[in-house]
Structure 1
Amino acid sequence: MATARFPGKSADVAAANWSAVAPGRPLCVNGTPWILYLLEECVDNIWEYCSVVIGLISMFCFLLSTLPQVYEAYRNGKVEEAMSLGFLLFLFSGDLTSFAGCYLTSQLPIQVVTVVFYIFTDLILISQFLYYKIKNSSSRKTPLLKWLCFMWCGAASLVLMVLPKLIIDNSRSLDTQSPATSKSVEVTGYICGYLASVFYLCSRFPQLYKNFQRQSTEGTSYLLFALAMMGNGTYGLSVIVVLPALRGSKQTFIIKHLAWLIGSLGVLILDFLVTAQFIIYKKNVPATKSSALLSVPEVEPLLCEEEELSVL
C-alpha cells in the first residue's frame, strides 16, 4: 500500500503560478480555490486538476482498504490462519518508512495525517492477529486479554488524534534549516521512500505463499487487495497525467517520484496474483461444502432403516 503522494509540479511552473503581493504572503493567480485551500497547491490547468482529483481518489481507496479486513477478522475470529504475519509486518514497516519519507521531505499536512492513519490500521491488524492467535491457542477464556486489547485500541486512537498536530508543528522547523542540511534531509527522505517501496513489494510474497500453502483464501477479505489495487493504479495514473503540464524536465520529475511509482505499480502487479488466487481457490470451497452436504443424506436413511429392522 503505497502512500498517496500528490505529484505536484516542477519548481519553475510553481513559481510562475504564484505572485507575491506582500513579503511572505504569496497569491495564487490562476489556481483552483478548493485545491489551494485544502492542499496548499496552485493548480491552473486541466492536467494538474485531473492529477490532484485522481490523487485524492487514490488516497481515499488506501484509507478504506484495511477496514474490510478488520471486519472480516472480527467476524470469523481466525485471522491467524488466514493472514500471514510477514505480510502485516512488512506492510507496517513500509508505512513507517513512508511516514519518515513524508516527514523529511516536508509533505502536505493531509498526507502526514493519512500515513499516520495507515500506521494506526496496521497496528489494529497486527493486534487482531496476536489477539486471536493467543485466544484460539488457549483452552480457557482470558478476560484480561480482551481488556488489554480495548486499552491498546484506545491508546492508539488517542495517539492518532494528537500525533499529526505535533508532527506538523515540528516539520515547520525543517524549513528554517540551512540549504546543505535541508538537502541532506531531503535525500534521506527519498531513501526512506525507496525502502518503503521494497517493504511494500516484500509484503505480498508471504501472503501469496500462505494462500498457496493452505490452497485457500478463506478468512481474508478481497476488498483489502481490491482497494489497494485501485489506490496504487490511480496513484500511478495521477503521476502520468500531470506530465503534459510540466514545463521543466520530465525526467527529473519522474526520478523524484520513482520510489513511489515502483512501490505502487509493483504492488499492483503482485495484487493481480493475489486476485488469481482468490479466483482459483474459491472454486474449491463450494465443492468441499457440497460434498460434505451430499454425504449426510447418504448416512441418515441407512441409520433409520437399521433402527426399523431392529424394532421388527
Structure 2
Amino acid sequence: MATTRFPGKGGDDVAMGANFSNPTLSGPFCVNGTGWILYLLEECVDNVWEYWSVIIGLISMFCFLLSTLPQVYEANRNGKVEEAMSFGFLFFLFSGDLTSFAGCYLTSQLPIQMVTVVFYMFTDMVLFSQYLYYKIKNSSTRENPHLKWACLLWCGSASLFFLVLPKLITDDNASLDTQSHDKSHTMEMSGYVCGYLASIFYLSSRFPQLHKNFRRHSTEGTSYLLFALAMMGNGTYGLSVIVVLPALKGSRRAFLLKHLPWLIGSLGVLVLDFFVTAQFIMYRKSNPAKKSTSLVRVQEVEPLLYEEEELSAL
C-alpha cells in the first residue's frame, strides 16, 4: 500500500499531498477558500492547483479504502487463502498501517484521518482473521463447530473496538494540544519516525507475496483488484503532490524534501505492484495450458485402463 495512507495537517506531516499541508485557516484568513473543503478537511484552498490536489488526494484515499475489500471476498469464495496469500505480506501490511496510525496520533491529525486509518487497520484485521480461520480449518482433519463461532466473536469484539477507537483518540488529541511546545515537538518528531517505518513496512510487504507467487507459479486465490486499487492509490497520491507545485509560495525543493520519504515509498510500492501484475498475466496464461495438458494425459490413460480391465475380466 501507499506509505502514507492518511492525509496530514502540518507542514512536515506524513501527508497525502500538499493539499493537506497547511494549518487550519478559517474566518478572515480564508475568505476565498472552497467551502466544502474548509468544512470537511479544515483546509483553506483558494486556487485551482490546490483544489485539484485535494480532489486527486481524496481519490487516492478512496482507492485505498476499497483495495482490501475484493481480497476479503475472494478469500471467502475460494476458501484457501492460506495457500494463496503470504503471511509476510499480511504482517508487513498490518505493521505499516499500525505505524501509520501511530504517526497519525502523534502528529494530531484531523478526525477524518483517524477514521480512515482505523478503517485500514480493521480491514487488515479481517484479512488476518480469514487467513487464520482457513488455515486452522483446512489443516484440521475433522469439522470444528466452535471455530466459526470463535471467529465471529473475535471479529465482532474487534469491530466494536475499532468503532470506539476514533472517538477515544480524537478526545485524547484535544488534551495533547495543551501540552508544552517542547513535548509536542518531540511527539511530532516521533510521529514522523513512524511515517518512515510505515514506508519500510509497506515496501517490504510485496516481497513475500512475490516470492510465494513465484514458488507456486500461480496467483489463484488472490484478487488482482487488491493490487490494482493500490496502484491507483499510489499513483494518484504522487500526482496530488506534484499538481500543487505551481501554487507553492515557498521553496519547491524544501517541499519535495519534506515529502520525499513518502513519495519514494509510494513510487516504490507502485513499481513492485507492476511485478505483481506481470505475475498475474504470466500465471494466468500458464494455468490453462497446464489444465489442458492434464486433460490430454487423462484421456490418454483412460483407454489403457479400460484395456487392462477387459484383460483381467478374461
State the partner residue of 1:242. Answer: 244
1:61-140 equivalence runs, <5 A:
61-140=63-142
State the partner residue of 1:23. Answer: none
Amino acid at match of 2:227: F
Change (3 A) 1:177 1:287: same
State the partner residue of 2:254. Answer: 252
Q: Count the aligned residue pairs.
A: 304
Extract unaligned runs of 5+ from structure 1. Answer: 21-26
Cα distance between partner residues in 2 of 1:183 and 1:225: 36
Cα distance between partner residues in 1 of 2:6 and 2:241: 11
- Overall identity of the aligned pairs, in %: 74
Contact 1:9–1:246, Cα closer than 8 Å, also in 2: no
Between 1:38-47 and 1:1-10, the stretch displaced more is 1-10
Amino acid at match of 1:37: Y
Contact 1:10–1:247, Cα closer than 8 Å, also in 2: no
State the partner residue of 2:12. Answer: none
RMSD: 2.2
Taking structure 2 as the reference length, the TM-score comes to 0.90
Cα distance between partner residues in 1 of 2:55 and 2:130: 34
Cα distance between partner residues in 1 of 2:89 and 2:266: 16
Cα distance between partner residues in 2 of 1:246 and 1:117: 32
State the partner residue of 2:17. Answer: 7
State the partner residue of 1:51. Answer: 53
Give the Å deviation of 1:153. 1.1
Cα distance between partner residues in 2 of 1:19 and 1:114: 27
Give the Å deviation of 1:217. 1.0
| 1:221 aligned onto 2:218 | no
Give the Å deviation of 1:285. 0.5
Give the Å deviation of 1:117. 0.6
Give the Å deviation of 1:248. 1.5
Give the Å deviation of 1:256. 2.6
Cα distance between partner residues in 1 of 2:138 and 2:313: 45
3-state SS, counterpart of residue 218 of structure 2? coil
Taking structure 1 as the reference length, the TM-score comes to 0.91
Q: Please, which of 288, 291, 294 is the counterpart of residue 289 of structure 1?
A: 291
Extract unaligned runs of 5+ from structure 2. Answer: 8-15
Give the Å deviation of 1:297. 3.7
State the partner residue of 2:264. Answer: 262
Between 1:174-183 and 1:214-223, the stretch displaced more is 174-183
3-state SS, counterpart of residue 176 of structure 1? coil
- 1:13-40 CA-to-partner distances (Å, cap 9, x unmatched) read 768x7554xxxxxx62111111111111
Give the Å deviation of 1:114. 0.7
